[in-house]
Structure 1
Amino acid sequence: MRYRIGMIIEGRITGIQPYGAFVSLDNRTQGLIHISECHHGYVDNIRNFLKVGQMVRVMIIDIDEYTGKISLSIRCLEKAFDFSREKRRPGFNHRKYWTNKHVQEGFKPISKRMSKWINEALEDIEKKKKKLLTRY
């Protein structure tokens, strides 16, 4: 079977390390589920989610064309956590974030300072040139 990115296949966990789990896809092919790809959210210990010998359904998310290493993900197949349905505490329903949508500045502050920055950079270059020339 020729493996391709995006394929969803089943495999058996053959080994677990702190950084991820090795999955046998067939008799000759193995892939790795990195700890960050085993579950949505923070995973403290991968052994809390996966066990050696367990059958898992995984998605191929990357294949290194030079080494042939296959990166797998269970997280891609999980339903993402819906933050909009999260129960909120009373009084904390409206979070305020600062935005600059009413400020009509754009790139003006940068353009005002650009010539000064260019001059400072040119001066630094000249100082470095002089230092190099005085060394030799």
Structure 2
Amino acid sequence: MQLDPGAVVEGRVTRVTDFGAFVQFENGETGLVHISQIAHSFVRNIHDHVREGENVEVKVLGRDERGRLDLSIKELLEEPEEIPRPRAIGRQSPQFEAKLRSFMRDAKERGGGGGGGGKKGPATSKRKK
């Protein structure tokens, strides 16, 4: 079995993670189909597309610097005429922006500003030596 870049081969999904699916081939070698290589559309939940134990056809994209196989299912799927693009967010209403500023100011005062610049509460202002 040739696992050279461009080869199309069938393998069995041995493990599914949040970032991709591991596929094992007849020769015992395993490769990864990264979540971005599952489908042309955005994949929110990989479990909606592949399942452990399922046989899948994949295209070998190549090997990474460690020699691990990079695989794709998406490369074998017909590309849709138009890929849905995320809708651009336009300028928000002044009321929304005022509420957001108020929320952010309140969060900083409670110590949940997340990144400095805000007031420090009494628990963080004194250091023990």
Structure 2 regions of 5+ residues with no counterpart? 85-129
2:29 pairs with 1:29: yes
Residues 30-56 of structure 1 deviation map (CA, whole Å, 9 limit, x = unaligned): 000000001111000100100000000
Deviation (angstroms), 1:2? 3.7
What's 1:63 paired with? 63
Deviation (angstroms), 1:27? 4.2
Take 1:58 and 1:17, find their aligned partners in 2: how far apart are those partners?
17
Provide the secondary structure at the position in 1 that maps to 2:47. helix
One-letter amino acid of the counterpart of residue 71, structure 1: D
Query: TM-score, normalised to structure 2's length?
Result: 0.61
Residues 64-108 of structure 1 deviation map (CA, whole Å, 9 limit, x = unaligned): 3x5220010000000001129x9xxxxxxxxxxxxxxxxxxxxxx
Rg larger for:
1
Change (3 A) 1:7 1:33: same
What's 1:47 paired with? 47
% identity of equivalent residues: 35
What's 1:81 paired with? 80
Structure 1 regions of 5+ residues with no counterpart? 87-136
Take 1:19 and 1:53, find their aligned partners in 2: how far apart are those partners?
17
What's 1:14 paired with? 14
Q: Which runs of 4+ in 1 moved over 2 A?
A: none
Take 1:2 and 1:60, find their aligned partners in 2: how far apart are those partners?
10
Take 1:57 and 1:75, find their aligned partners in 2: how far apart are those partners?
10
Provide the secondary structure at the position in 1 that maps to 2:6. coil
Provide the secondary structure at the position in 1 that maps to 2:41. coil
Take 1:21 and 1:73, find their aligned partners in 2: how far apart are those partners?
10
Query: TM-score, normalised to structure 1's length?
Result: 0.58
One-letter amino acid of the counterpart of residue 17, structure 1: T
